[in-house]
Structure 1
Amino acid sequence: MRAQVLQVVHTCHALAARGHEVTLLANPAKDAEVEAGPLLEAWGLPPISTFHLEIAPTRWSPGAGLWFRWKLGSWCDASPRDSVVYVREAKYLAVVGERPRVVYEAHCLERQRAAEEGEEAGVVEAMERAVLARSAAVVSNSGGTLAALEAAYGPDGGLPAIRRVIHNATRWDRVIDGEPVDPPVIAYTGSARAYKGVAALVEAMAAMPEVTLELIGGVPEGPMPPNVRAVPTVPYSELPARLARCRALVLPLEDNSFGRQFTSPLKLWDYLATGIPIVAADLPTVREIAGELPFYYPPGSASGLRSAVAAALASGPRPRRIRTWDDRALEVEAVLAEVVALPRSAASR
């Protein structure tokens, strides 16, 4: 399950639980048509009358796109003038129109991401400038993302005056106690995309045969040493029990723009809630969230990673740090209140 899906659904559900009328438009799962009710049930989220999850009636991308634009346009036309559209992708701005107020949530500097991924950076930059100019507020997922936006577009130029860093979160019911197993097991959860450092983690662990590394949900290409075990994607509700067996949890980010500036890893919030020692690359994005709790190592250093794993295994439980989706919803709610209170001229920019 993509981190973006988890973040968006849980934030919307938490806002609805606080009494807001929230409509979330979503694509269906790739492998099956799903209804909103079973989807929420799979995530352990109770139905709420103020949370309206509407799923596209087709997996065919052009058809789903047309449906999405029609639903969003219709909602904007019918909504009161103090309604807010919370945008995570600049490409949908053209559908929004002039009636609702806009809050843009940024997870990177889009023009930089486009250039790094070989896209047409000029087109992406134009969309990014347009959504920033139209927005009454900008929310970023990390301090690095906000700093990059301010450096690119000027602190007093293309950005709205209301700017906030609002990090991700986890859930109280994902905090469970368990008994670590012997021989020691450590774990990494999530995808194995090249820029996330998983391949380097696997290579480093080959020199620690006494420790088993579980890769839960993602496997890098190429052979793996005998002490590295690939675990198929674990159902969301079962992941905490799987982590509770572990002696350490690993966040092997690489020192690239994603790892250094643009991430607020959902897995890190899950890790912090367990009290299990964390091994993490020493990067500003991690320290911004976790402070001095993890056992840090220099990014890209295999020997440093192994030393941090050894230190984590020799330590006891760490203090738990729990930030819930309701905490995040409170922060989003405060931004929405500021936006709604703005004069129309300031909100429309």
Structure 2
Amino acid sequence: MIRLAYIDPYAVPDTRVASLQILQNVDAFARHDMQVFLVTPTSHTSAESLLGRSVSKGVIFSPLDDPRGKWYFPFNTQKIFFLRAFRWLKHNPVDVIYTRNLKTARFFLSKNLGIPVIFESHEIFAQSFKESHDLSHVKNQRKYEALLKNERFVYQNSAAIVVLTSFLEEDIRRNYNVSTPCIISPDGVDSLAVDAVPTPATSPSPSPCSIFYLGSLHPWKGIPTAISAMRHVTGATLTIAGGNEEQIATLSTLALQEGVADKIHFLGYVNPLNRFQEISRHDICILPLTKTSIASRYTSPLKLFEYMAMGKTIVISDLPSIREVVDESSVFFAESENSDVLGRVLQHVVDNRDDTKKRADTALLLSKNFTWDHRAQQISRTVHHLLLKN
């Protein structure tokens, strides 16, 4: 059995989206011929509180003390954690190191441990930084150049790179000129959690129709476009779940300015354990993603697969990264960042509920191909191949 160390400098389990993804990944890895050591800072959250069940027996939590945030350690550096993880590896032999954290990959690759390192990439950090920062400032230029240097080193020296989309692989190869083996493996859905939810209500609900968004409220998620789109929608309300108080306050102000405050309800934080029950309560689910590189080329939206697995009608931005997974047979597309078009599409869906069920049913069937277990099988084959070569 392969012994895999999944190392991350943030606590797992945790309510952070990345931490939840990691937890679901290692849970699935352990069901596919791997013993997984989850090496992270000590967590104060249980897996049961997030998944509704215990993780697979093959997952071994290996928490390391992390001084960050404590009164006697006023620094936010991750170096202490890396050194402790390095010491842990000296006493716990493993066959492969797996991480999605760039600094973690950079640190362990620089140590020449003789252990293959697999890096899971969710974006090109330098590109995302460039899109969101003014590079005319010297400080930002230095950070950008450091990201370029670190990403090049990691992509060149990893044993393999796991990417979410073919576009991410394409950009990695073009920007960094690397020949490192890549495996394209989209995110997935927790099929065990879905199976534990009562049969989703796919039949039309009484008026008004309920439109739903669940996720973070980061700018690239496109929530302002969805709020503006509600100017063109009658007979429906929009519920937005997620975000912090400051983000919700800003979006609430926008709703007032657009004259749609009476159509929009902010649900706030939803415990991951309850996300499928919450999805099941609504009729139409949306993902109004923007045209940023992370959304248009790199994202593999967890919520898309969760909406699909719950048999929901989905309206989503028409972007290359999304069309790599779904088409018009399973979702309704709307032009990204165009509130008028999104509003018209939403109104069409609201007015034609019988027609929309066909696409929802197709999406439900398609979701069987996008589970954490399916992903674990893919990556497990790559790991076995790497170890046989070595």
Deviation at 1:58, TM superposition (A): 4.5
Stretch deviating more after TM superposition (323-332 or 217-226): 217-226
Deviation at 1:104, TM superposition (A): 1.2
- Structure 2: how far apart are the matches of 1:234 and 1:134? 39
Deviation at 1:121, TM superposition (A): 1.3
- Conservation of the 8 A alpha-carbon contact between 2:125 and 2:147: yes
- What letter corresponds to residue 77 of structure 1 in structure 2? K
Residue of 127, 146, 160 corresponding to 1:123: 146
- Structure 1: how far apart are the matches of 2:101 and 2:151? 9
Residue of 90, 98, 118 corresponding to 2:102: 90
- Structure 2: how far apart are the matches of 1:198 and 1:275? 22
- Conservation of the 8 A alpha-carbon contact between 1:209 and 1:227: no
Residue of 303, 317, 321 corresponding to 1:281: 317
Give the % identical residues.
21
Deviation at 1:25, TM superposition (A): 2.5
What SS class does the counterpart of residue 232 from structure 2 fall into? Answer: coil
Residue of 147, 159, 162 corresponding to 2:179: 159
Distance 1:341 1:297, change over 3 A: same
Verify: 1:186 aligned to 2:211, yes or no: yes
Residue of 41, 44, 49 corresponding to 2:52: 44
Residue of 68, 73, 76 corresponding to 2:81: 68
Aligned residue number for residue 44 of structure 2: 34
- Conservation of the 8 A alpha-carbon contact between 1:72 and 1:95: no
RMSD: 2.2
- Structure 1: how far apart are the matches of 2:146 and 2:375? 32
What SS class does the counterpart of residue 213 from structure 1 fall into? Answer: strand
TM-score by length of 1: 0.87
Deviation at 1:95, TM superposition (A): 3.6
Deviation at 1:89, TM superposition (A): 2.1
Aligned residue number for residue 53 of structure 1: 61
- Conservation of the 8 A alpha-carbon contact between 1:248 and 1:276: yes
- What letter corresponds to residue 289 of structure 1 in structure 2? V
What SS class does the counterpart of residue 78 from structure 2 fall into? Answer: helix
- Conservation of the 8 A alpha-carbon contact between 1:25 and 1:54: yes
Structure 2 gap ranges (5+): 1-14, 70-74, 134-139, 256-260
Deviation at 1:306, TM superposition (A): 1.4
- Structure 2: how far apart are the matches of 1:113 and 1:244? 33
What SS class does the counterpart of residue 234 from structure 1 fall into? Answer: coil
Residue of 248, 254, 260 corresponding to 2:290: 254
- What letter corresponds to residue 112 of structure 1 in structure 2? Q
Deviation at 1:167, TM superposition (A): 0.5
TM-score by length of 2: 0.79
- Conservation of the 8 A alpha-carbon contact between 1:25 and 1:68: no
Verify: 1:20 aligned to 2:28, yes or no: no
Deviation at 1:79, TM superposition (A): 4.9
Aligned residue number for residue 201 of structure 1: 226
What SS class does the counterpart of residue 204 from structure 1 fall into? Answer: helix
